[in-house]
A and B are shown apart, each in its own frame.
Chain A
């Protein structure tokens, strides 16, 4: 009997004649094997598992529904952008780190801001005490941005900025620095994260309530589609949703649901879907479950293409493409045996690359302990370079396609994620589901289950709950000088003495008026920034006008 003719029968025969014998002699390691998303992993995948695949559902790279990648040549044309996320202490120190990374072969910048900046507070605000320069660079005014990008030509690099609630202000500062360098805004390439919904869900750095937050976002879409056409105006982020403890399936579902909410908001604001959709970008996580992760990226691309086409009637091909940045999973790193993290990051890098990412940040081995040192960042970047230049995985497009397992996973993730998206639709869409705490609750359940699995030894974390060794405290961690905050406060005082305070006052009043109207706020923010109004002053005006978001706390 030829197996090609009667696969089902052959499979059964194999089970009876071969498998049962082996099972009766050895058994298997576990009664049940589960993926990271708690889906059953079968013993063996065969064509039977992908019988319903229609090649139209895969398509060719650069072709709808983009399952196999968004560009026709993918990494044969050029590698993904190796974009290391960095920033700490002052603009001067971060500028040095950026130049180092560019020297080492990093291809794009990715700015990490400190928490006061992310929350729209100046360094001299009492709430900023102890936090200035700690998890990123402290930016108070245009002056700091000028220093941050000093000697870095903004028409040559692309810059990603992890900034959400005050994204409009930081984008305005970037535009202003470029203008000072003689670079027109039409030349600027980069991304602002600008994804407030996931802040309410998972990351917590929100300022304003949902409505004005969504207005700021659509104002940016509109302003950029006219003036900064190469800029990615949002990076709809599953990364933080995953870090907060979601499964891969929830990561896809909640992220795309948030994406749907932004598209809806922009259409409601009167924008044409094909004018802004090509500038939407995404940001996903890469965890250790290699095949599930690859399936996740492929499923997300296909789902988004279908949503944009079928739900929103987008016509431009670029509106249908899900382009994404990836970061390896911070929460997968262990403080125990930090060297093991290098291996984890390598696996996650493979997942991102075999999943077709457009850019990648690799975490450093010491990040479960502190911000990374220069040496550990270099190893993280080298990991990407080794995968790119030595592994061969970048030489053919979508190398895992056709794997019975990966195709089956891709289908499964697409189907399960769609179910969750429909559930959120039924709750009235993302903003309503968030207000009801639905996503937060689901993520928390997953996070708690994961923690229990580790503590019950159902999930092995090498070096943490298995293969442990006695360890000495790690040395040579990066420490941010605690005097950074004091120095920043002094600098801010000097700036306020020096600038044209009458002009600042006028610009802030104009912004205040614009907040009350339905005008686009970007030009007003740009004027304020150009007169060296501080981030805290500008966000302060918006805080007064818009109010602040209150978290609904549940455990």
Chain B
């Protein structure tokens, strides 16, 4: 079985990357291959990196309040590139509960809000991968 490849991305303008870095470290400690984009990635850049790196998961961290705009845009672009069916898309950060149904309707598989353990996120990924890693 090959390792799961995850892209950890920070879309939007906010520079608070504690959560992104902590989750990236946790993924790595759980045996995954992690690519971290760094700050301020546009949806286009995130999708390009996801394709180039052939990832299984796109995990986005966002605190700026722009999630309803940026996360669905990433999904839309992944669909346009024909890779959405292979890539699990998840999000996390300061995201009000009432926005979560909208995000899920728009292709974000799960949204992890503050207080979620890294283990919960890791287990979710393992259980919901779209591509086989065997």
A and B from one complex: yes
Binding site for B on A (CB under 8 A): 115-116, 118-119, 121, 127-131, 134-135, 199, 203-206, 243-245, 331, 334-336, 368-371, 444, 447-448, 451, 454-455, 464, 473-474, 477, 479-480, 482, 551, 553, 555
CB within 8 Å of A: which of B17-72?
Answer: 17-18, 21-22, 24-26, 28, 34, 36-40, 42, 64-66, 68-70
Partner of B22, one of A116, A336, A447, A473: A447
Nearest residue (CB) in B for A552 is B38
With A204-B17, A244-B18, A555-B25 already in contact, the answer to whether A455 and B66 are too (CB < 8 A) is no
Alpha-carbon separation in the docked complex, A121 to B118 (Å): 34
Can you add 19 more A-B contacts, CB < 8 Å, to A205-B13, A555-B36?
A: A115-B13, A119-B13, A130-B66, A131-B12, A131-B66, A134-B65, A203-B16, A204-B17, A244-B17, A244-B18, A335-B115, A369-B94, A448-B21, A448-B25, A451-B22, A473-B98, A480-B65, A555-B8, A555-B25
Q: Within 8 Å CB of B82, what residues of A? A: none
Alpha-carbon separation in the docked complex, A551 to B114 (Å): 26
Contact (Cβ within 8 A) A555 B21: yes
Nearest residue (CB) in A for B27 is A555
Nearest residue (CB) in B for A443 is B18
Contact (Cβ within 8 A) A553 B69: no
Binding site for A on B (CB under 8 A): 8, 12-18, 21-22, 24-26, 28, 34, 36-40, 42, 64-66, 68-70, 94, 96-98, 113-115, 117-119
Q: How distant is B98 from chain A, measured CB to nearest CB, in Å? A: 7
Contact (Cβ within 8 A) B118 A451: yes
Contact (Cβ within 8 A) A555 B15: no
Alpha-carbon separation in the docked complex, A454 to B8 (Å): 22
Main secondary structure of the interface of B (DSSP, over half): loop
Q: Within 8 Å CB of B68, what residues of A? A: 130, 482
Alpha-carbon separation in the docked complex, A465 to B119 (Å): 13
Contact (Cβ within 8 A) B96 A477: yes
Q: How distant is A449 from chain B, measured CB to nearest CB, in Å? A: 10
Contact (Cβ within 8 A) A551 B66: no
With A204-B39, A553-B38 already in contact, the answer to whether A243 and B65 are too (CB < 8 A) is no
Q: Within 8 Å CB of A477, what residues of B? A: 96, 98
Nearest residue (CB) in A for B120 is A455
Contact (Cβ within 8 A) B94 A448: no
Q: How distant is A50 from chain B, measured CB to nearest CB, in Å? A: 35
Contact (Cβ within 8 A) A444 B117: no
**How many residue pairs between the two chains, A and B, have CB atoms under 8 Å in the bound complex?**
102
Contact (Cβ within 8 A) A115 B22: no
Contact (Cβ within 8 A) A451 B26: yes
Q: How distant is B119 from chain A, measured CB to nearest CB, in Å? A: 6
With A130-B68, A244-B18, A464-B115 already in contact, the answer to whether A555 and B28 are too (CB < 8 A) is yes
Q: Within 8 Å CB of A130, what residues of B? A: 12, 66, 68-70
Alpha-carbon separation in the docked complex, A368 to B15 (Å): 17
Contact (Cβ within 8 A) A204 B22: no
Q: Within 8 Å CB of B119, what residues of A? A: 455
Contact (Cβ within 8 A) A243 B69: no
Contact (Cβ within 8 A) A551 B39: yes
Alpha-carbon separation in the docked complex, A448 to B114 (Å): 15
Nearest residue (CB) in B for A88 is B65
Q: How distant is A473 from chain B, measured CB to nearest CB, in Å? A: 4
Contact (Cβ within 8 A) B24 A204: no
Q: Within 8 Å CB of A206, what residues of B? A: 15
Partner of B21, one of A127, A334, A447: A447
With A115-B64, A480-B65 already in contact, the answer to whether A335 and B18 are too (CB < 8 A) is no
Q: How distant is A113 from chain B, measured CB to nearest CB, in Å? A: 11
Partner of A455, one of B17, B36, B37, B118: B118
Interface centre among A134, A477, A480 (most CB of B within 10 A): A134
Partner of A135, one of B22, B34, B64, B96: B64
Q: Within 8 Å CB of A128, what residues of B? A: 13
Q: Within 8 Å CB of A203, what residues of B? A: 15-16
Contact (Cβ within 8 A) A131 B64: yes
Q: Within 8 Å CB of B24, what residues of A? A: 555
Alpha-carbon separation in the docked complex, A128 to B12 (Å): 8
Q: 26 A-B Cβ contacts within 8 A?
A: A118-B13, A127-B42, A129-B66, A199-B15, A204-B14, A205-B13, A206-B15, A244-B18, A245-B22, A331-B18, A368-B115, A444-B21, A447-B22, A448-B21, A448-B25, A448-B26, A451-B26, A455-B118, A455-B119, A473-B98, A474-B97, A480-B65, A555-B24, A555-B25, A555-B34, A555-B36
With A130-B68, A131-B13 already in contact, the answer to whether A368 and B21 are too (CB < 8 A) is no
Q: How distant is B101 from chain A, measured CB to nearest CB, in Å? A: 11
